[in-house]
């Protein structure tokens, strides 16, 4: 059992500990003798416990051998010329000697075989009478208790301030300029924007929790979305993508907007409108997206949102009043 366990490949670890020399007075499976306690124990510590049991048996066998030697000597001294008693005492002597030789040979054979077959690296876990158990810990650059290790970063994620792990969310940027007047125009028409504006020049993908900007959207696109809202009547329109960076097609001066697709009334409106115009929805064979061509806009159902492209040649943004 000990030989098989020592031959098992053990994973690389960052620290090694031993239970120290075996102290029979502290018990075979005590923490002092095997180096672990309860749920902290691993396979190696089980092998260490077995090794301690073997060591205890060596101690016990030594004590028994000494007692048998004393018994045999006393028996020979008290034989009083009885050849049978002397012969019995000699037999005990030889049996004890043979037993001790077998015990020591077994130790030597196991130790020699292991030293021969184990690589130099693996010998750090043996020989079997000096088993070294390992303590797993998180590698450098991580924190926590193995195996639940987490990476240590020197800076907080984009959109947060402080020093890890004490990171706090950065307050949203102040809305100003055409961002504010565009949001005001949308709000006046009953159209919401799902998130606060992105920092200037920052992709929404880099901001914790995301962000949505409307600054720089063409006035015709804003007017088109307001018309869409009015035509859809009872629809709840929430803008989820505007001029913020990170999209393939969106951006400042581009008449493209994303809106939420959670309101079923929007789908019903698109189906009615495209048929009113004697058309039909078109399915893209590559991605399965359905496209609606309605008056002044192309609406693409992209699953979690509608992507709207407004037909306009004027991409100037809204002009804010004084």
Does the residue 151 lie in any domain?
no
Q: Rounded to a whole number, what is the distance in angstroms from the first to the last CA of the chain? A: 87
Same domain, 121 and 216: no
Task: Provide the residue range defining the domain that includes 282.
Answer: 177-310
Does the residue 139 lie in any domain?
no
Same domain, 24 and 98: yes
Same domain, 186 and 114: no
Q: Give the position of tokens 């950065």.
A: 170
Does the residue 157 lie in any domain?
no
| Per-residue pLDDT reduced to its tens digit, 250-305 | 988 999 999 999 999 999 999 999 888 888 888 888 888 999 998 889 999 998 99
Does the residue 219 lie in any domain?
yes
Does the residue 167 lie in any domain?
no
Does the residue 287 lie in any domain?
yes
| Per-residue pLDDT reduced to its tens digit, 124-180 | 444 555 555 555 667 766 777 766 777 666 666 666 767 666 777 755 555 556 888
Same domain, 87 and 201: no
Taking a C-beta distance cutoff of 8 angstroms, is the pair 5, 47 a contact? yes
Same domain, 99 and 191: no
pLDDT at residue number 132: 57
| Per-residue pLDDT reduced to its tens digit, 97-139 | 998 899 888 877 776 665 565 444 444 444 555 555 555 667 7
Taking a C-beta distance cutoff of 8 angstroms, is the pair 267, 275 a contact? no
Cα–Cα distance, 255 to 223 (Å, whole number): 11
Taking a C-beta distance cutoff of 8 angstroms, is the pair 311, 297 a contact? yes
Cα–Cα distance, 237 to 112 (Å, whole number): 80
Q: Where are the alpha helices (DSSP H) in 83-167?
A: 83-117
Taking a C-beta distance cutoff of 8 angstroms, is the pair 138, 149 a contact? yes
The number of domains in the chain is 2
Same domain, 44 and 120: yes
Does the residue 215 lie in any domain?
yes
Mean pLDDT of all residues in 177-205 = 90
Taking a C-beta distance cutoff of 8 angstroms, is the pair 243, 216 a contact? yes
Same domain, 202 and 118: no
Q: Which of 17-31, 144-158, 226-240 has the highest mean pLDDT?
A: 226-240
Same domain, 189 and 259: yes
pLDDT at residue number 134: 55
Taking a C-beta distance cutoff of 8 angstroms, is the pair 184, 320 a contact? no
The residue among 115, 134, 153 that closes a domain is 134
The residue among 134, 155, 185 that closes a domain is 134
Same domain, 290 and 185: yes
Taking a C-beta distance cutoff of 8 angstroms, is the pair 44, 131 a contact? yes
Cα–Cα distance, 228 to 275 (Å, whole number): 16
Taking a C-beta distance cutoff of 8 angstroms, is the pair 312, 221 a contact? yes
Query: Residue 28 carries which DSSP code?
Result: T
Cα–Cα distance, 265 to 233 (Å, whole number): 9
Does the residue 110 lie in any domain?
yes
The residue among 80, 115, 134 that closes a domain is 134
Cα–Cα distance, 197 to 212 (Å, whole number): 5
């Amino acid at each position: 059992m000990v030989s098989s366990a020592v031959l098992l490949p053990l994973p690389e670890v960052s620290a090694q500990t031993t239970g120290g020399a075996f102290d029979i007075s502290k018990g075979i499976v005590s923490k002092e003798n095997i180096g672990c306690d309860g749920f902290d124990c691993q396979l190696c510590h089980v092998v260490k416990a077995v090794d301690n049991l073997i060591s205890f048996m060596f101690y016990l066998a030594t004590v028994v051998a000494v007692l048998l030697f004393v018994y045999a000597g006393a028996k020979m001294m008290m034989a009083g010329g009885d050849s049978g008693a002397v012969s019995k005492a000699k037999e005990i002597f030889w049996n004890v000697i043979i037993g001790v030789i077998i015990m020591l040979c077994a130790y030597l054979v196991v130790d020699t075989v292991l030293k021969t077959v184990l690589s130099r690296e693996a010998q750090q876990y043996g020989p079997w009478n000096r088993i070294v158990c390992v303590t797993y810990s998180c590698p450098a650059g991580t924190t926590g208790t193995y195996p639940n290790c987490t990476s240590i970063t020197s800076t907080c994620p984009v959109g947060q301030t402080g020093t890890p792990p004490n990171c706090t969310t950065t307050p949203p940027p102040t809305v100003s300029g055409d961002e504010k007047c565009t949001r005001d125009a949308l709000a006046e028409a009953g159209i919401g924007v799902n998130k606060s504006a992105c920092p200037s020049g920052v992709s929404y993908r880099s901001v914790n929790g995301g962000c949505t900007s409307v600054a720089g959207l063409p006035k015709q696109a804003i007017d088109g979305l307001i018309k869409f809202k009015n035509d859809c009547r009872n629809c709840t329109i929430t803008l989820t993508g505007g001029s913020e960076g990170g999209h393939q097609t969106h951006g400042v001066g581009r008449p493209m907007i994303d809106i939420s697709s959670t309101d079923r009334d929007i789908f019903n409106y698109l189906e009615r409108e495209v048929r009113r115009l004697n058309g039909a929805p078109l399915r893209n064979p590559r991605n399965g997206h359905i496209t609606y061509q309605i008056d002044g806009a192309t609406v693409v159902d992209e699953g979690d949102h509608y992507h709207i492209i407004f037909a306009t040649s004027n991409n100037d943004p809204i002009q804010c009043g004084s």
